Structure 1
Amino acid sequence: MASLLGVALLVFALPGPNMAFDPYGRGASTHDSITKMALLQIVTETCRTVIEKTGDVFSPTGPSPDELVQACLGPTAKGDVSSAKFRSAIRDITVQNGLVDHDFDSSAPHHFHSETFLEGRGLILEGMLAIKANIREENFMAVRETLGRILHTLQDFYSHSNWVELGKKEPYINLIRPDLPLENLADVNTPTCRDCDSETCPNPILPDILREKKLTSGYFGVYSSIKPHGKCSHGGDDDLTSTAVPRGGISKDDRRSDNVALQEAAVKIATAASLQLLEDIRSAAGDRDFLRMMGIARSSVLCFVIDTTGSMSDDIEEARSVVNEIIDSKKGTQDEPSEYILVPFNDPDFGPLIRTTDPEKMKTEIAKLKANGGGDEPEMCLSGLQLALTGAPSSSEIFVFTDALAKDIALKDTIFALIRSTKSTVSFFLTAVFKRRRRSVKAASFKDYQDLALASGGQAIQVSKAQLSQATDIILDTSTSALVTILQRARNSGSEEIIPFLLDESLKKVTVYITGKSITFTLTNPAGVSQNQNEANGKLGTIQTVGNLWRIRLNTDKQSGTWQINIKSNQLYTLKVTGQSTITFIYDFVEKFKGSHPGYAVVSGRPQAGQPVTLMLSVIGRKGPSSMSVKDVGLVVVSGTESVTSGSITDMGNGDILVTFDTVPEGEFVVVLKGTDKVSNSEFQRQSTTQMSVSKVNIQAVVDSSVEPGKTFHLPFSVMTHGPGGIYTINARNDRNFPMTYQNSLTLTTGQSANETLTITPPSNTQSGTDVTLTIEGRSSSGADSNYVVLRLSVVTKITDFYQPQCEVFAVLAEDCPKDLSQCGRFSWELSANLTDGNGTGIESISLRQGNGSLSHSSLQASIIQARYNASCCSQIVEFIAVDKVGNVGKCYHSIVRSGGAPVLSLSLPLWLCLLASMFVGNP
């Protein structure tokens, strides 16, 4: 098995014709591509380790992320595997990486400008602590966001400092090791650069700095050219200090004729440093949770939000039955849920959110639910749903069971914001006839559930309690990792319409759902064969009707071509067509930002009205991006008269495209993509589920750090409108109910920002690693326009334990191992080691990383833990890792590989030696 360093050395050998540290696209190696390369390599290594431990062979059929996921999850299980969540995880990280140049453009520590080495390392270390704490609490979205930011800062060190000019060939491990000091830093009074009176001055670092191995970085000024005497500048048109003597700059962000070798070296070491940081996080998290953090897990999450009031006994029993059926029927397949989430709610209580990867634990937890209290009055449904939306991974399928209206209807706008932010789909199973009419705009109604379901791409299914078991087949349908939406529409009433949709060769288990009453329809296939609503078992499929739901499962998977359905109804109805396929897409609405390193920022809210709207979109196929071609991307109105707006497409490479729409439809719209699958030469159609609209209101806020329990966090934010000015209502909520203060209204002038500060205080007993989801909404006094921003804040306890566990190998018995490896299987060898954590928090786990033998150890409560490893002489390398209670990682490595016929000497190595020690013995 190749070591991680071996992979890194392959990166060192890669040619770099156009390398740059820009966020996107002006060269072959950018922050974006460096990060993606490191992520793919660490995931490949992790998958290889996991698969080979099971005795299977890790053999991707190709180099694409899609084929990597299939190889990582699919050697023994059956069914299709979608790589959408993996690709989304990569995008979460790379987008946050690029945003550092937007959100923290003038912050020297975020870029190691102006010799801010201690401050820059502080940001990296703080981020690593937050990442490890969040992994323990399974807050993986928070992990990805923080990881992207600190990778940017780490990568900038090698571009903005003189590390490579000093002749360094390896990453500076001290940047991610709080127990190791930063050494030999140039002080503010030490000149570091000579003057460069031209634009081509290779290595302007002063000879004394190079000889003494002093570490410096370039100063950067956007508004001023002032810098300390004799100091290097960053360089470039945006750096005013580069015009002050000494002129020029030492940045290796762009490849120029005078810095080719230095720039290539910086890219290579930045990639290796990124791998080094990722390896530390992987070791602290464990392979399983690291892959989950990267979106590599079987199937979607099974998430239930269940009303537990007294009238819900039958509903709870049906939910329990569905969970048990899914667990029992899908065990060992690719459709086995990777995670189970349960949120009960009552009145006035709701929660807690229960999360587990153990199916038997989920059975136990749902079996504990008992119906009690309450009555037929409204319940805390939306509060429970809020917990689910903030606790479940993005793009989850969430199912809500209730027989009452929402008491907490004031949360409706917050739920809309969270649905749009997470792109999760919410379906409601409602077992009551709601006859109550609204007494005011604040009173809840059944339509609220319909609105939320439609906004998310879900359905509001209304049945009697006796019929509920017939309606829950939809949950079985959607419990798959490869679920795609082909079409979704909603119509108000009183019309007859023929709606076409395209099925492709890759689709399986195609299902048509219609919700509504007084409906007639006729379904017609490409050959002209038809079936209407009265034919339960017809030529095209099986029709099931229960309550307001029609479910049509097509008889065969081979139904390529354009279908159509003719629907007539005098009431509101929805139409949805889904199937299973690995051909899909992911997307974000983005806006371009300018500056020294321009890029694209994901819009956290609704895109701005009155200007072009841009999508960043990735197409996912069966054999990677090269197996797909995109024909058209459009925005389509779900409700009302059909209107499709097509966008202009720019290919960004590797399956990523930018789509720009000069105009957008009025009202709520979704994204529709059409293209060709080259594997089958079949045209396909896919649609997003989450509805979106534009707004003239804009809210900006950035979370720049974690917060300690008991400490007040100050969050500045700004609100601006391009619409009418006046008083705008500000409403902020967080999913932990932590105390907050803020001004609840602002007076806005058109085109001008109004600034405000929100404070939030996590209680002193808050668990370290708690992830807080915060929404801030701004609404005009008329209610005609509004927007929101969704932010995440990590609560992390301050720690003082920065020291890694130590390892002392005190005995190796390998004398029996033969020189002739053909006979190795008949013999074994042993290793014994002592593990300690000194004055630290204590070792929490010990696990085997390399080696096919068995590892055992004494009690983790002991001050000295004895570890023993036994293996066949055929397995000659062992590495095991120890993680303490705050995530510090120590490693024990030993090899009995013979060199020149002599056995390798037994080594007693400190456990803090990084994985590089496997190749550079004695060079920690």
Structure 2
Amino acid sequence: MLNTHIILVIYLLSICLYTNAFIPYPVVGDGAQTTDSITHTEITQAGFIRCLARFFYDTRIKPNNNNGNTVNEKEYFTKEHTIDDLYKLAYPEYSQAQVELYSLPLKFILDLVMTENALVDFDSKTKKLSAAHFDSEAFINGSRRILRLRQIVVNDTRTTGKDLTDARQSLGRLLHTLQDFYSHSNWIEMGKTNINTLIGNNENIGSVAGPNQATCSNNGCTRIEKQCSLWQLITFRKCPLIYYDCQNNILSQINNQQLLTSGYLFNQFNENNEPVNKPTNVEKCSHGGVMDDSAHVPAIGGINKDSNTLILSPHSNLHFNAVDLAVNATEEFFNNLRKDLGDENFNRLFIINPTQTQSQTASNAVKNGKRFRFFTSFLSVSLKQGDGLLADLKNWITKRINMIKSILTGLLFGQNTLDIPTYDLSDLGVNVKDVNNFRAAPYILESGNIGRKKRFIHVLRNRQ
């Protein structure tokens, strides 16, 4: 007979896999914890794969084709690739074991970048810092943040012999801010279908609504109140759930005049640690979502597109539009960084072509128990644009269901594989039980002294 722990896990799995609700999938990144939302870490990996495809084409594929090897270039640029796929094409002489060995240093570095991206939503210095998320119309400060962190990446990487840990961490942090621009601002609502090329290059990235200028209205938002599921009660600790479905709540004159705005929240702060709150004397937009109390203060609702569920994102209908631009912006940032650094330094930053010693060091770390926190070997994308890119990402969502099952299986039966990320940030000082962190998914895994079979339930019970 199944014990109580396993029965509860099966129950949670069943209600989550067959509904468009929160699932026990430990993704960190702006609340995108539904089965059909794309997260910060996935956007980062997708953007890098597209950049790596171009890097290998220029440095390996095209030269190899000129020397008699044949890679179908049309297929290369239209077919989905994982990182392993790209290594196989770039190094056709490698066996599968060699591909896995020589790609390992890059994967761990990319995982570090992705982890630092996720930590922006948890670090006490940044989780409520408006500029780190382009919130509260902090567009100049957000742009300055990206430029400052980018300079650290460039300067450190150009310095021979410099340890590049800080550069890689800075890269992850700035990518979080860059990606948030598309889900937190009204860029998409203004009708934009291309990325903002000023970000990462200029301090001024566009005209911004004035501090005393109304940007949103109560019109266009419908209040929703519903009873919560067991999983939602555990993760949000509030029931019923109250949130908004908002469309066309941004004032038409703001979008027509191409003025940037973004959502406000309560209890944020600026770089001088001064409080930043949603104004009460003028109707500004809120961030929105069930955890954002400012959403109930006029103008009600919100405009974030962080996830594909209204519970977290009042503009969830535009989630994939934001994802599309965020992936393109991430890829463009990587491509421009490569151009500025040169191929040799770009290779050194990510250890794309490792030495034997670097590969063996990474392999030894795996033997000693090191695992990826966020990097996912199954994620594949092509270099297609628009609908083609979105199709790739939606295909990934389908694959994710199997990974969810693998994660739960590993928790229950102690399985441990390099192919499945741990999503464990507890050793980095992250409080995984902090439900007040409205930005991040309300559930990530934690390590502990308890047995792996009981850990999943232990975390759930402690969150109630």
In the superposition, the TM-score normalised over structure 1's length comes to 0.33
1:301 paired residue among 357, 379, 396: 357
Match of 2:107 in 1: 87
Tell whether 2:301 aligns with 1:236. Answer: no
- Given that 2:215 and 2:261 are in contact with CA atoms closer than 8 Å, whether structure 1 keeps it comes out as yes
2:245 paired residue among 188, 196, 200: 200
Quickly say closer, same or farther: Cα 1:261–1:583, change in 2 above 3 A: closer
- Given that 1:35 and 1:274 are in contact with CA atoms closer than 8 Å, whether structure 2 keeps it comes out as yes
1:53 paired residue among 57, 63, 84: 63
- Given that 1:23 and 1:31 are in contact with CA atoms closer than 8 Å, whether structure 2 keeps it comes out as no
- Given that 2:305 and 2:317 are in contact with CA atoms closer than 8 Å, whether structure 1 keeps it comes out as no
**Which protein has the larger Cα radius of gyration, Structure 1 or Structure 2?**
1
The CA distance in 1 between the partners of 2:152 and 2:367, in whole Å, is 36
The CA distance in 2 between the partners of 1:132 and 1:662, in whole Å, is 44
Structure with the higher helix share, 1 or 2: 2
Quickly say closer, same or farther: Cα 1:296–1:128, change in 2 above 3 A: same
Q: Secondary structure at the match of 1:596?
A: coil
Match of 2:304 in 1: 251
Tell whether 2:439 aligns with 1:597. Answer: yes
Q: Secondary structure at the match of 2:345?
A: helix
Quickly say closer, same or farther: Cα 1:136–1:648, change in 2 above 3 A: farther
1:140 paired residue among 164, 174, 182: 164
- Report the residue type matching 2:199 in the other structure: L
Matches within 5 A, 1:394-405: 395=362
1:218 paired residue among 248, 263, 282: 263
The CA distance in 1 between the partners of 2:171 and 2:134, in whole Å, is 17
The CA distance in 2 between the partners of 1:290 and 1:600, in whole Å, is 35
1:278 paired residue among 334, 337, 356: 334
- Report the residue type matching 1:259 in the other structure: H
Percent identical among aligned pairs is 25
- Report the residue type matching 1:598 in the other structure: A
Match of 2:374 in 1: none
Match of 1:71 in 2: 89
Q: Secondary structure at the match of 1:114?
A: coil
Q: Secondary structure at the match of 1:200?
A: strand
Q: What does the per-residue CA deviation read over 1:186-213, in whole Å, with 9 as the maximum and x for residues that have no partner?
A: 1101111111463222021111112211
Match of 2:206 in 1: 183
Q: What does the per-residue CA deviation read over 1:407-446, in whole Å, with 9 as the maximum and x for residues that have no partner?
A: xxxxxxxxxxxxxxxx5xxxxxxxxxxxxxxxxxxxxxxx
RMSD across aligned C-alpha pairs, in angstroms? Answer: 3.9
The CA distance in 1 between the partners of 2:420 and 2:315, in whole Å, is 39
Tell whether 2:30 aligns with 1:22. Answer: yes
Q: Deviation of residue 297 (structure 1)?
A: 1.9
Matches within 5 A, 1:812-831: none
Match of 1:476 in 2: none
Structure with the higher strand share, 1 or 2: 1
Q: What does the per-residue CA deviation read over 1:373-409, in whole Å, with 9 as the maximum and x for residues that have no partner?
A: xxxxxxxxxxxxxxxxxxxxx7498xxxxxxxxxxxx
The CA distance in 1 between the partners of 2:442 and 2:63, in whole Å, is 40
1:209 paired residue among 254, 268, 271: 254
In the superposition, the TM-score normalised over structure 2's length comes to 0.62
Q: Deviation of residue 585 (structure 1)?
A: 8.6
1:269 paired residue among 325, 333, 348: 325
The CA distance in 1 between the partners of 2:309 and 2:214, in whole Å, is 25
2:150 paired residue among 128, 144, 149: 128
Q: Deviation of residue 261 (structure 1)?
A: 4.3
Q: Deviation of residue 286 (structure 1)?
A: 2.0
The CA distance in 2 between the partners of 1:46 and 1:188, in whole Å, is 43
Choose between structure 1 and 2 for higher RCO, CA contacts under 8 A separated by at least 6 residues.
2
Q: Deviation of residue 647 (structure 1)?
A: 2.2
Q: Secondary structure at the match of 1:173?
A: coil
Q: Secondary structure at the match of 2:180?
A: helix
- Given that 1:95 and 1:601 are in contact with CA atoms closer than 8 Å, whether structure 2 keeps it comes out as no
Quickly say closer, same or farther: Cα 1:648–1:188, change in 2 above 3 A: same
Q: Secondary structure at the match of 2:198?
A: helix
| Number of aligned residue pairs | 332
Q: Deviation of residue 234 (structure 1)?
A: 0.9
- Given that 2:308 and 2:317 are in contact with CA atoms closer than 8 Å, whether structure 1 keeps it comes out as no
Quickly say closer, same or farther: Cα 1:182–1:58, change in 2 above 3 A: same
Q: Deviation of residue 251 (structure 1)?
A: 0.9
Quickly say closer, same or farther: Cα 1:264–1:602, change in 2 above 3 A: closer
- Report the residue type matching 2:288 in the other structure: G
The CA distance in 2 between the partners of 1:266 and 1:182, in whole Å, is 17
Q: Deviation of residue 31 (structure 1)?
A: 0.9
Contiguous gaps of at least 5 residues in structure 1: 1-16, 303-334, 338-393, 398-422, 424-483, 488-581, 604-611, 615-634, 636-644, 650-658, 664-924
The CA distance in 2 between the partners of 1:254 and 1:205, in whole Å, is 19
Quickly say closer, same or farther: Cα 1:24–1:232, change in 2 above 3 A: closer
Higher deviation after alignment, 157-166 or 257-266:
257-266
Quickly say closer, same or farther: Cα 1:598–1:209, change in 2 above 3 A: closer
- Given that 1:159 and 1:251 are in contact with CA atoms closer than 8 Å, whether structure 2 keeps it comes out as yes
Quickly say closer, same or farther: Cα 1:155–1:194, change in 2 above 3 A: same
Contiguous gaps of at least 5 residues in structure 2: 1-19, 22-26, 224-243, 269-276, 370-416, 427-431, 460-464
The CA distance in 2 between the partners of 1:100 and 1:486, in whole Å, is 28
Q: What does the per-residue CA deviation read over 1:307-360, in whole Å, with 9 as the maximum and x for residues that have no partner?
A: xxxxxxxxxxxxxxxxxxxxxxxxxxxx8x9xxxxxxxxxxxxxxxxxxxxxxx
Quickly say closer, same or farther: Cα 1:237–1:144, change in 2 above 3 A: same
- Report the residue type matching 1:71 in the other structure: L
Q: What does the per-residue CA deviation read over 1:761-801, in whole Å, with 9 as the maximum and x for residues that have no partner?
A: xxxxxxxxxxxxxxxxxxxxxxxxxxxxxxxxxxxxxxxxx
Match of 2:348 in 1: 292
Q: What does the per-residue CA deviation read over 1:15-42, in whole Å, with 9 as the maximum and x for residues that have no partner?
A: xx99996366423411121111111111
- Given that 2:302 and 2:315 are in contact with CA atoms closer than 8 Å, whether structure 1 keeps it comes out as no
